[in-house]
Each structure stands twice: as C-alpha cells, then as structure tokens.
C-alpha cells in the first residue's frame, strides 16, 4: 500500500521526487494493493470496475442513433443504467461498470443511489416532489427550517443570507444582478430611482439600464447564459457567435507546479495579474462602464484547473474593497467539500469575507450566499417562478447528514493526498507524457503533453473502466464524489499506470 505523506498541509509540500522516490515510483507491472480495501468500501457499493464491451457499446450506439433524431448528440459519451450504478461506480447500458471520477461534471456529492437518498425519495410525505412551489411567493411550511438545516448550516463565514436558484448559470446571473442593484443604490445614495431611470430601463437604455460591468478573468467559466457568458473565457466554442458585453477581462495567474517549488516565481506572476486588475478597474471607470463586481473561481476548473495562492485572493478582495466593487466567489464547481473544506475559499483565511458566494452542482440546488447589504431593497428584483426546487433541499439535508456522519471531508483530504502523491509519482515516471500534477483535496488534475495524448489516455482509461473528465487544453481533471476512498485512488492509479506503460 502506498505510504502516506504526513505533512499537515492540504497540498502536500514535501519534495515527493526526493525521499519518497523509491517508495512511490511505479515500475511497469507494479501495483497498489489496498490492505483496507474491504473495510473502506461502503457496503452498498461494488468493489471494482467490470468491462464487457468497448465504450460506447452496441446498446449505447443504438440509443445514440435514436436520440440523434432529436438532438445534437456529439457530446454524449454513453448511455447509463443509473438503477444499477452504486457509489463510485457508474454502470452503462451495455453492462460496463466504471470507476467514475467525473461524477456528472462534478455534481454527484455522495455517489450513485446512496441508500440515505433513496429513503428520502420514497417517503410519501415528501410532497415537495410532486408540488413544486413558486418559492418566492408561496413557500412550503418547512422552507425556513430546511434552509437553516441545509444551506445555512454550511454557510461560509460572514454570509447570513442565501437565495436558492435552479442551476449554476441562474445563480451567477442573479448574483450579478444583485451586485448591479447594490452598486447603483450606493451611487444614488439609496434614494428612489428617478423618473428618467424608470422610463429608460423599460427600453434597455441608460441611465435605467446603466453601463456597468463585471470584471472577470481569462480562463474563467461562470456559465453560458448571456450575462454569465460575458464573464466566461475558457473555450471559444462556448462564446462564438453570441453577442456580449464590453466588460474588462484580467489575466489569471499562470502558475508553475508544484506550487511549493515555485513560490517566488508564482508570487511575481500573481502580482502582475493584480496590477492589471487595478488598471482595468480604473480604465473601465474612465470609459464610463464602472466595475460593479469582480467574479472569480477559487480554482479555474473548465479553464484547466488553474490555481492561485491564498495571498492572491486576499489581495484581490482588498482591491475590490478599495475600489468599491463587490467580490463574488463562484464556487459552483469547487463547493461542496471536494477540496477538503466545504468551500474552497475557506482555505484562504479571508478576514474580510466575500460579498457573494454562488453554488450549484454538488449542492444539488443552485443559489448564492450573500452579505446583508447585497440583498435587494425591494421584492421582485431578484425573482423567477420557481427560484430553486425545495425537493433538492430535502436531498441536500440528507447529503449533509451523510457527510457529517461518515466524516467525508476528512476522507476527501486523505484520498486527495493519496491521489496527488500518485499523480506526482506518475509524472515523475512518465515525464514525456505527464506534467503539472496539482490539486486540493480530491479536486486534482494533471496535464498531458498534447490534447491528442490526453484524449487517447482518456479513451483507453474508459475502456479499462476508469471514467475521467477533461478541461483546459490538455488537462485531465479528477472530480470524484466525496465517497472516493484511498481504495479507489489505488484502482485509478493502477489503471492509469497500465495505460501509460503501454503508451507509445
């Protein structure tokens, strides 16, 4: 079994390539063997991948043909048998069982068909499932209680208020709107809007629809609806042909990994980016399009798993404060425990909390926390028909119970350490193929030497029963569920090692 690094920091900072070399490096055919395998695997789960066909198999291909008559199916990997899937294992319609470390684009918190969730679903008293309310006007009796029990019990420090929404994009769109409303209320000294403002807003014109902007970062992903898309800069396919706003875009630090080995170089790079942020804020103010808010991911996910230091984020928060911009941390992908803390930005140790923290995916419901002053002054300013779905809050309450009962954040920290160590080891053994292993908790990634190599590794892995995700230009991203144990790390590393050993 792999020897665990005992360093207390989350991103293991010991020089893995030196003392652990002999222990960690794979040789062709060497295997991880987990002594504790049977103990760490949840009872309801399978114990290993099991492959019957190449993926996609014949049944998937037939279904793909059928669905192709209705939709563009170019992004579909295969069709799933969700009834048979369990824990970390996703079963497809051809009977292939894969270790799933992509988990529906990082949105399955505690694995497939967790018995605790099945129990919630089959409780006939949970009428929230069949009577979806318009939460903004007619909430159910238990809505405040369920919010306190679920979302507010894990609220980031400084955040007393939460607004639910249906998905990540709606969460960010409404978070942006809250920042615009807050900013304009400040500008007009909290007076009532003028007649001119009320009149012009109806026809999309200034001053009612003001020329305000949101500052975002190159490589960011904040969603695909038109407001969010104006802050998304990860891939051209997301943005091509869609009209956008002239909003400022700052460089996100391009760091060298492992972070601990390039502290000075990385600090310089971060300083350069922060300087650019301030320049852009000044420039856009001069252009008459002041920056109402800054939005940033704690780790740029879709853009290639790009990290920055706590120091960078603390200084960015200070810049937002200095220039009167709201500070919005987008935790849609990083939130929910996968970094070892419930919110990735809790690793920063901010003294001055963020103004807005948005979430979705593993939280099952979308939404955002915000400070008191970011709450709109009037009803119906942040509003839509459903404003989320309380049936998702019921599941979230139970997910949180499971996370606490099974100490899953500690598990994530432990598994994440093993995973990152394994990735360091692989890139040391295969330096011509892999580089830049990085991660926090199980939110890990590694780069291939090219996009073609990355894609080839991923396809081979899938056929061997390991289903991973990609991001950036040539990155493999790991997004396992919170029930991903060291046992599963070893399965993953063994499969990857086999593929790399055969790789030409």
CA distances from 155 to 66, 162, 346, 348, 356 (A): 44, 8, 11, 16, 11
CB closer to a second copy, 16 vs 108 = 108
| Contact flag: residue 74 with a second copy (CB under 8 A) | yes
Choosing from 361, 392, 417, 485, the catalytic residue is 361
Could you tell me the strand order of the sheet in which 97-100 lies? 89-91, 97-100, 466-467
| Contact flag: residue 386 with a second copy (CB under 8 A) | yes
CB closer to a second copy, 129 vs 262 = 129
| Contact flag: residue 380 with a second copy (CB under 8 A) | yes
Choosing from 92, 94, 100, 330, the catalytic residue is 330
Binders of a second copy in range 390-419 (CB under 8 A)? 391, 395
Query: Annotated catalytic, 385?
Result: yes
Instruction: Spell out where 360-416 has E strands.
Output: 366-370
Contact pick of 143, 278, 353, 453 for a second copy (by CB under 8 A):
143
Beta bridge partners of 445: 438, 477
Contact pick of 51, 218, 259, 267 for a second copy (by CB under 8 A):
218
CB closer to a second copy, 162 vs 426 = 162
| Contact flag: residue 72 with a second copy (CB under 8 A) | yes
CB 181 within 8 A of CB 190: no
Among the listed ranges 221-229, 254-262, 444-452, 476-484, the one in contact with a second copy (CB under 8 A) is 221-229
Binders of a second copy in range 226-245 (CB under 8 A)? 226-227, 230, 233, 235-245
Q: What is the 3-state secondary structure (H, E, C) of 200-235?
A: HHCCCCCCCCCCCEEEEECCCCCCCCHHHHCCCCCC
Query: Annotated catalytic, 361?
Result: yes
CB closer to a second copy, 398 vs 486 = 398
Query: Closest separation between CB of residue 160 and a second copy, Å?
Result: 7
Binders of a second copy in range 152-171 (CB under 8 A)? 152, 160-163, 166-170
CB 290 within 8 A of CB 207: no
Q: What is the rounded CA–CA span in Å between residue 164 and residue 139?
A: 12
How much is the CA Rg of the chain, to the nearest whole Å? 23
Phi, psi of 318 (to 5 degrees): -65, -40
Binders of a second copy in range 296-325 (CB under 8 A)? none
Query: Annotated catalytic, 232?
Result: no
Q: What is the rounded CA–CA span in Å between residue 47 and residue 109?
A: 19
Site string for a second copy, 262-301 (x = CB under 8 A): ----------------------------------------
CA distances from 202 to 44, 170, 194, 209, 378 (A): 56, 22, 13, 8, 18
Query: Closest separation between CB of residue 59 and a second copy, Å?
Result: 8
Phi, psi of 267 (to 5 degrees): -65, -40
**DSSP assignment string, 150-219:** TGGGGPPTT--EEEEESSHHHHHHHHHHHHHHHHHHHHTTTPPPPHHHHHHHTTT-TTTS---EEEEETT
Contact pick of 19, 58, 144, 431 for a second copy (by CB under 8 A):
144
Binders of a second copy in range 112-141 (CB under 8 A)? 112-114, 117-118, 120-122, 124-134, 136-141
Choosing from 221, 327, 359, 484, the catalytic residue is 221
CB closer to a second copy, 130 vs 504 = 130
CB closer to a second copy, 8 vs 379 = 379
Query: Closest separation between CB of residue 359 and a second copy, Å?
Result: 12
Among the listed ranges 33-41, 45-53, 223-231, 322-330, the one in contact with a second copy (CB under 8 A) is 223-231
CB closer to a second copy, 15 vs 132 = 132
Q: What is the rounded CA–CA span in Å between residue 257 and residue 264?
A: 12
Query: Annotated catalytic, 254?
Result: no
| Contact flag: residue 147 with a second copy (CB under 8 A) | yes
| Contact flag: residue 225 with a second copy (CB under 8 A) | yes
Return the SS3 of 239.
helix
Q: Which residues are catalytic?
A: 221, 330, 361, 385
């Amino acid at each position: 079994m792999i020897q665990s690094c005992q360093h207390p920091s989350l991103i293991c900072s010991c020089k893995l390539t030196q003392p652990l070399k002999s222990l960690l490096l794979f040789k062709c055919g060497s295997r991880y063997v987990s002594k504790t395998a049977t103990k760490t695997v949840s009872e309801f789960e399978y114990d290993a991948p099991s492959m019957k066909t190449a993926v996609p198999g014949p049944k998937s291909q037939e279904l793909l043909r059928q669905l192709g008559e209705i939709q563009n199916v170019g992004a579909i990997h295969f069709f799933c048998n969700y009834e048979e899937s369990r824990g970390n294992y996703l079963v497809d319609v051809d009977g292939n069982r894969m270790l799933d470390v992509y988990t529906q684009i990082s949105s399955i918190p505690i694995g497939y068909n967790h018995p605790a969730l099945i129990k919630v679903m089959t409780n006939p008293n949970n009428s929230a499932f069949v009577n979806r309310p318009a939460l903004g006007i007619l909430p159910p009796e238990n809505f405040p209680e369920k919010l306190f029990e679920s979302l507010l019990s894990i609220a980031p420090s400084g955040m007393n208020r939460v607004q639910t929404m249906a998905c990540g994009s709606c969460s960010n769109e409404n978070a942006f709107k809250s920042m615009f409303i807050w900013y304009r209320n400040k500008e007009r000294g909290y007076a009532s809007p003028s007649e001119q403002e009320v009149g012009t807003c109806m026809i999309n014109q200034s001053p009612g629809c003001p020329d305000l902007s949101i500052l975002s970062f190159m490589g960011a992903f904040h969603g695909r609806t038109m407001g969010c898309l104006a802050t998304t800069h990860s891939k051209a396919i997301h943005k091509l042909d869609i009209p956008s706003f002239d909003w400022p875009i700052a460089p996100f630090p391009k760091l060298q990994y492992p972070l601990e080995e390039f502290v000075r170089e990385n600090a310089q790079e971060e300083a350069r980016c922060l300087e650019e942020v301030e320049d852009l804020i000044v420039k856009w103010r001069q252009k008459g399009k002041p920056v109402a808010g800054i939005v940033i991911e704690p780790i740029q996910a879709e853009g290639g798993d790009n990290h920055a230091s706590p120091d960078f984020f603390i200084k960015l928060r200070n810049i937002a404060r200095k220039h009167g911009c709201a500070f919005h941390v987008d935790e849609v992908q990083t939130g929910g425990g996968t970094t070892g803390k419930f919110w990735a930005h809790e690793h920063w140790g901010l003294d001055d909390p963020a103004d807005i923290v948005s979430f979705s995916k593993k939280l099952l419901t979308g939404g955002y926390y915000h400070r008191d002053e970011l709450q709109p002054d009037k009803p119906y300013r942040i509003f839509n028909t459903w404003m989320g779905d309380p049936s998702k809050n019921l599941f979230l309450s139970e997910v949180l119970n499971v996370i606490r009962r099974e100490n899953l954040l500690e598990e994530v920290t432990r598994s994440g350490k093993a995973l990152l160590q394994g990735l360091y080891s692989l890139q040391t053994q295969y330096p011509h193929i892999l580089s830049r292993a990085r991660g926090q908790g199980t939110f890990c990634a590694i780069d291939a030497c090219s996009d073609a190599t990355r894609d080839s590794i991923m396809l081979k892995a899938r056929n061997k029963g390991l289903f991973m995700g990609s991001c950036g230009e040539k990155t493999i991203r790991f997004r396992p569920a919170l029930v991903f144990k060291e046992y599963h790390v070893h399965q993953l590393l063994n499969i990857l090692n086999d593929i790399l050993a055969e790789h030409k």
